[in-house]
Amino acid sequence: MLGGAPTRSPAVAAGMSGPRCPQCAQPWVSPRLLPCLHSLCDPCLRRLGALEGEPGGAARPVLCPVCDAEVSLPPGGVGQLTPDCLAGSRAGAAAGCDLCADGAAAGRCLTCGVRLCPFCCRAHRRQKKTASHAVMELENTKDCSQAGKPLLCPSHPTEELRLFCEQCDQPVCQECVLGRHRQHPYDFTSNVIHRHGDALRKLLKNTQQHMDTLEDVLSQIDKMGSAVRSRAEAVATEICLFASGYVRAIEEHRDRLLKQLEDLKVQKENLLHLQKAQLQQLLLDMRTGLHSARQNQRTGFTLLCNDTTGERMGQGGEAVQVTITHKDKRDCAVKPTVCDNGDGTYYISYSPEEPGLYAVCISVKGQHVQGSPFTLKVKHKFREHQGVFHCCTFCSSGGQKAARCACGGTMPGGYQGCGHGHKGHPGCHHWSCCGQVKQSSECLGGPPSDTSSRSLLRTVAL
């Protein structure tokens, strides 16, 4: 960065011993302390700092090549930095600890250049600002021979650093006190060392107590972390078990509800089928028993009484009233018979004497049932066939030409009978008396005959 920086000669570099500059890895040349407490030799500092003698030079921030901390150089440049006398003159001293002065030096910080007892070595490695410093055992350093040399002033090489400027916070000699440190408060270095040493020892003692406490706290934190992890795993297991049981219970409840729904559906479907069958039977009975009957033929129907929910009543005892009157002949009434079956059904039978239209009124507890009054059509007495249900009069009469059939059919050749069923006369079986083709039909001709009465089942819903 800077031109004109002094370079060290091979002779000077070869004649120096002890630790080396961490920047150039060469023996120290006028080492100075940066604000971050790292030491660099003068040539390395000048390559980092402002131009020497720059007019009006202000503080310029630079990065320490050791810790990468941003530090500011004084306005006067590198020359105003505090000389590191320990690194330059007493780098290898192995007498006592420079920090506590209680124990013998067992090691030395290659970064700070201070001698350290075993306790201070450990503290030096634990502190945040010095944790990255390289500390070596004293017997491994190569400049132990300089342990007894006095500390000389870099500005006045013949003077020993016996004083300490309180204002500039650096060791000085008598010439410095009389020169640029005039009117600055100062004290003997021995007093400053003891004073700062006592403070450091007190701080180290407090630090040791806090370190023990911190170590206990860290141990407790590790234990608590293990307990938290164990508890979390146990709770996770409980959550999984609870969720599985909850899901299983929901599935079982779902299956029960679906089973109940299926049973209810089957029950309702059966009830609907039953009601449908009853309605169909009701319609059939109303079309037959309540809507049509035969003269002087006893017939009837069954009345089913249901409750308000549509279920069939299981007991009788209701007041059922039935009236059957002729619409054209007011004096022609039919007296019905009501039979209580005791199971919620009532059989009503009647025998009309006159053909025609009748009005059937049915009431329970004084209220008409649904559809009442009904219209009843009474037909004439059922006429039975007097002839033969055959396919051909010619065949039935044994081939007589004079045999006639009530159907009116004849055959060619003078035959009076029908020729149904023969070639040229396709036909079917029929009654010879009236020509009806249905065997169980009523005869349309011939005198009526008495038939036995029959009872029909009639179903009427309330």
DSSP states of 365-405: TTEEPTTPSEEEEEEPPPPPP-S-EES-HHHHTTS-TT---
- Which stretches does DSSP call E strand in 244-336? 292-294, 299-304, 320-326, 333-334
The gap from C-alpha 53 to its chain's centroid, in whole angstroms, comes to: 73
**Which residue, 454, 430, 460, 431, is CA-closest to 286?**
460
pLDDT score of 458: 29
φ, ψ of residue 189 in degrees (nearest 5): -60, -35
pLDDT averages per 10-residue partition of the chain, 462 residues: 36 43 82 82 76 48 82 78 67 60 76 79 83 75 46 81 85 87 85 77 81 88 93 95 94 95 92 77 60 77 78 82 86 85 87 86 86 82 79 78 81 82 71 80 60 30 32
Give the pTM.
0.30
Contacts 24+ apart (CB under 8 A), 109-117: 109/133, 109/134, 109/135, 110/19, 110/22, 110/134, 110/135, 110/136, 111/22, 111/38, 111/39, 111/66, 112/37, 112/38, 112/39, 112/86, 113/19, 113/31, 113/39, 113/84, 113/86, 113/87, 114/86
Q: Which residue has the tokens 């972390």?
A: 225
Terminal-residue alpha carbon distance, the chain: 118
CB 114 within 8 A of CB 86: yes
pLDDT score of 10: 34
CB 159 within 8 A of CB 153: yes
Strand 135-137: give its sheet, edge to edge: 115-116, 107-109, 135-137
pLDDT score of 128: 80
The gap from C-alpha 127 to its chain's centroid, in whole angstroms, comes to: 49
CB 427 within 8 A of CB 417: no
Work out the angle between the directed axes of helices 118-126 and 189-285 (0-180°, nearest 10): 40
φ, ψ of residue 83 in degrees (nearest 5): -65, 140
pLDDT score of 16: 35
